[in-house]
Chain A
Amino acid sequence: MGTRIAGLGVRWLAVAVAAAIALAACGSSTTSSSSASASAAGSAGRGGSPVEIAIFHAFSGPNAAYGPEAAAGCYPAERLINAAGGILGHPLTCTPVDSKGDPADAVPAANRLIAASSSLVGVLGGGSDTATSVVPLFEQARIPIFSTTGQSAFDHTTDVYFWRILSPDAAQGSAMAAAARKLGFTRVATVFGNDAAAQGSAPTAISGVRRLGLSLVANQTLAVGQTSYRSEAQAMASARPQAIITEADPQTSATYFSELSQVGQVPALITDPVSQEPTWRKAVGGAIGTALLNKQDYAVVAYSPMTSPAYRVYTSALLASAKQVPQPSQWDSDLYSVADYDSVIVMALAMDAAHSVKPSVYNRYITSVTAPSPGAVIVHTYAAGKAALAAGKRIQYVGAVGPLNFNRWHNAGNQFAIERYSGGNWKVMSVLSAAEINAATGS
């Protein structure tokens, strides 16, 4: 009986498997975007057919916060672009596509997206969880992808359609080491998750600490997703660091620091932009207490003057996008959301500059609307950029994250700042100079 499958059982099993596959497919495939489409109509040109930018991130699974985070960048941009008449008369639509944060799901989802969507003009996505798997697919399909991955594999990429606004992890690690020194800590420890996202910045953080002459009292790599890190926490407590330079996913960080707080004291934490994500703060704040987290946390992030004109435009559009972005204010200081907003604006301006929404054509114009050049009009909004281009002027878009000066590998570097969370907002405590970061990198 154990090996027999009854006839009726086969049908039941088939139904179950089909249901499971359908469920998985629902998750992977393009999510309904009726509300997005509705808003896309807006005041965009009535003649053009919609063009689509995919938010290709995890909307389910352990990294399910990545999708809403990117959506918080895309929808405000969509709103502003359509309010300005769309791109060459085409209304823009942001379309969520669930990568599930797993290459096994992301690759078929990307292939389906490329094959099925004739109006796809760009992609936001390919975080560190899936970038190495899906970037080649979009490269082959000649569709620009603005990625938030920090992986060093893309530091010198020759992929023509890959673009990265935020600094790579290697630069982030050096900046974290530089921040430790600037804050006056001499006994420093490092704690990084063993996943690809966290490991990108670990080597340069460790080498930076050593290069700056700080004492590295502990260096831990955590196997992510464990039930316990008590032994690691005990070893850290024994090392008595003044500060811990750290990057790990929310779950791992929460468990580790909770157990560290039980066996010793949580010292100052020097964290990266991940710590500014609402999910990370909720997880770790819930584990060790929000007050302690806010007191000990020094986030080292790309310097974005939160008072810049582009940032103000972004936040006001974000808050007006509550229909597509639940609780929009939670994302207003999230650097990844801000970078995704800039990415969409850049793609739209490049299309205007190229007089074409064809990805293989406008891709070449991305640097022309972002690079500084003599006589270029500096613009901070899509509407201003579109008007200047229509008037035959050259433009330089200075975004909400600041100037976007892409190098030959399509990476735009940033300045870094140390930020603290206070009174419900992130506030710049100090900006790291190039000399301070160079001292950590040895360059």
Chain B
Amino acid sequence: MAELISAVGFGVVTAAILAISAVGFTLQFSVTNVFNLAYGSVMTISGFVAYWLNSSGLDIWLAMAVAALAGGVLSVAINEVIYEPFIRHGVNLFGMVIITISVGLICDHALQAIVGPSFFSYNAPAGKALHFADLVLTRQELAIIAIALVVTSLVQVALQFTRLGRAMRGVSVNPSLARACGVPTRQVIALAWFLSGVLAGIGGVALFLDISTFTATTGSEFLIVIIAAAVLGGIGSPRGAVLGALVVGIVTEVGAAYWNAELKDVLAFSVLILVLLVRPQGLFAQLAIERAVAR
């Protein structure tokens, strides 16, 4: 029982980190329908912004806030400068995926050329370990869980109860109709990119804090598990992404504790496939098929 409690607790920590990033990924997709595989690069670049600030003496949590803003600005810039011209020219979903892969590669390689092929760590001690029955968590892990709770709740509330949220959902379902109804789709899309980048920034710093060390390609390396959480929850659904992150996080940790640590990914992705067999649209969202890039 003690082992199970520990594994579930550890799974929640992992889920918190995945959830922040997965919500950002899926929020932007739900509004723009661009499956942005450069998202991991935005996480990494934001993580390095925090690293440079942290190395200059700034507290890591303040550095995370600045990195979030940097992620937002970068995300908007990538969309405006690179994606938007392609979208205007009618490139379809698949074409955009290829373009986002290219952008991700360019960002990763350019960053690697700047920072070199080395490993980096924040100057941020994990803090005192706190014992909750059989569960041991550090202050840093608790802070990350709290940030994830606040951030994902804010996104959900904003989408559900604000005019902006309704506008985003409108653009998501039918951009042309939303525009005809007076929704400023261009601004809404830009805001979606910005929020997605902000979450990528927070998620990147949280991930890098958690794994202790990172390189110029770390964000992209972890993108697959972030996408898995988003897809499991239902691509395009922020609350689904949170649930997907919880499933992935807890299944991997429980799998490692009770089964075989080497096969924890096998277990997590088997669960993903089983869920999608039963609910191809994921746990919450509508199927993304036949959606067009929003413009």
Contact = CB atoms under 8 A, between A and B. Distances in A.
Interface of A: 1-6, 8-9, 12-13, 16-17, 19-20, 23-24, 27, 59-62, 64-65, 67-68, 194, 220-223, 225-232, 234-235, 250-251, 254-255, 258, 262-263, 278-279, 282-284, 286-288
A284 B112 CA distance: 20
Given A27-B109, A234-B10, A13 B252 contact: no
A134 B106 CA distance: 26
A396 to B, nearest CB: 36
Given A220-B261, A227-B211, A234-B136, A20 B86 contact: no
B98 A13 contact: yes
B91 A254 contact: no
B6 A262 contact: no
Contacts of B112: 60, 64
A162 B263 CA distance: 34
A232 B256 contact: yes
A228 B261 contact: no
A5 B89 CA distance: 8
A23 B212 CA distance: 30
Contacts of B156: none
13 contacts: A1-B92, A12-B91, A20-B102, A20-B106, A60-B109, A64-B117, A64-B215, A223-B264, A231-B257, A251-B119, A251-B218, A282-B120, A286-B213
Interface stretch (B11-19, B41-49, B190-198): B11-19
B177 to A, nearest CB: 13
Contacts of A3: 92
Interface string B201-213: 0000001001111
A262 B136 contact: yes
Contacts, number: 175
B89 A9 contact: yes
A258 B136 CA distance: 14
B10 A230 contact: yes
Interface residues of B, number: 61
Contacts of A284: 213
Contacts of A258: 126, 211-213
B7 interface: yes
B86 A222 contact: no
A68 B253 CA distance: 36
Given A9-B91, A60-B109, A227-B14, A234 B117 contact: no
A414 B258 CA distance: 40
Interface in B238-268: 249, 252-254, 256-257, 260-265
Contact of A250 (B18, B119, B261, B263): B119
B225 interface: yes
B213 A283 contact: yes
B90 A2 contact: no
B91 A255 contact: no
Given A262-B136, A286-B120, A226 B265 contact: yes
Contacts of A17: 98, 102
B95 A282 contact: no
Interface in B92-128: 92-93, 95, 98-99, 101-102, 105-106, 109, 112, 117-121, 126
Contact of A223 (B6, B91, B265): B265
Nearest to A27: B109
B291 interface: yes
B256 A250 contact: no
Contact of A5 (B17, B91, B120, B214): B91
A263 B119 contact: no
B92 A255 contact: no
A225 to B, nearest CB: 6
A283 B119 contact: yes
Interface string B72-96: 0000000000000110011111010
